[in-house]
Amino acid sequence: MKSLIGLSRSLFLDLKRLHPDADGLDRDLQTIEARIKGEGVGFLSVALPAFGKAFDQSLASGKMANIPGFSRNGQIPKFLSGIARHIFDTKTGILRSDASLDAIVSIRQVLYFFKKFLPADDRAAKLTRLALKDFEDTDSEIRDVDLSRLSRFGHVCSFVAPGLEFVQDYECKHGPGAVLEGYTSNQKWSEVYHGLLDYDRRLCLVGYDLPASLLADQYYDSNDLQDDSPSPCAKLVTVPKSCSALRTITVEPCLNQFVQQGLNNALREEIRKDKILRQMLTLDSQEPNQVLALEGSLSGNWCTIDLSSASDRLSLQVVMMAFAKDRASLKRF
């Protein structure tokens, strides 16, 4: 708790330096310290971000909203009012025509600074159970989807990206993330070599058989490949999403990750070449999204649709339908 208060003090020292004419910053810091002692870390990680969301909505609407849990100074909250008065008129709460961008940045910095603060161990255990249950519920939900209703989707996939097939000789690579075995970066490459010596089917199917072919004949026989042998399973874990929620991800086995990165390269290349998909998807640049986000915030003509647990709702059946042209190869991965 002391470290959080000390961090808050350092943050307000920066505010004083950036806004020397702002009144009441010492009082605001006292408010933070008092409410941390009374409400705990939740004031920093829940109450202040909620204030921040209302503040952002106020900027969009042009009038300061009422913030539950924070008293007012005129038509704006007392908390951070010494900076907020450069953004909203204190008497009317209307957004000023000369609103200070520096003041907006500073207020948002304070309000969202602790948004990603990790929950305590007891709270994290509860959030982990909730995240895993949500994953299981979503998985059960999509398992019951009637695929006959997606027949038109399969038809579309038949002529979109016709070159996207699971062929050999991918440019596979290791990803930056952790792997199930806990290998370091150099150990990952050793695992690829040993995987070849062990006739690992995932590597041989994408063309990584050269090291093994240099060995004596008794060490390499394509007939030894067991295409139906099970691969190591990925591990489902949780990582922080916010102070009040965790998200589920999988930690893949090393060789799985190596091959999947190759499939990722192939998919991106086909999207760039396809005359339809390249007009709809841009995976190598965020600039189109940034331009539309800016335009949407100014005009209100664009918005982002955020589906809950979107990645978890992509069922295996839908993927199999999308890549039905080479379904046998897909099953191997």
Question: What are the residue boundaries of the structural domains of the chain, listed by start?
Answer: 2-112, 122-331
Which contiguous run of DSSP H or E holds residue 56?
A: helix 48-61
pLDDT at 58: 94
pLDDT exceeds 60 at position 230: no
Q: What are the tens digits of pLDDT across the range 272-314?
A: 887 878 888 888 888 888 898 889 888 888 888 888 888 888 8
Q: Which long-range contacts (CB under 8 A, 24 or more apart) does 73-82 make?
A: 77/51, 78/24, 79/28, 79/31, 79/51, 80/28, 80/107, 80/110, 81/23, 81/24, 82/19, 82/22, 82/23, 82/24, 82/25, 82/28
Neighbour count for residue 11 (Cβ, 10 Å): 16
Over residues 152-157, mean pLDDT: 63
**pTM, 2 dp:** 0.66
pLDDT at 26: 93
Average pLDDT, the chain: 80
pLDDT exceeds 90 at position 77: yes
pLDDT at 18: 93
- Report d(CA 262, CA 170) in Å as an integer: 5
pLDDT exceeds 80 at position 231: no
Low-confidence winner among 96-100, 102-106, 262-266 (lowest mean pLDDT): 262-266
pLDDT exceeds 70 at position 156: no
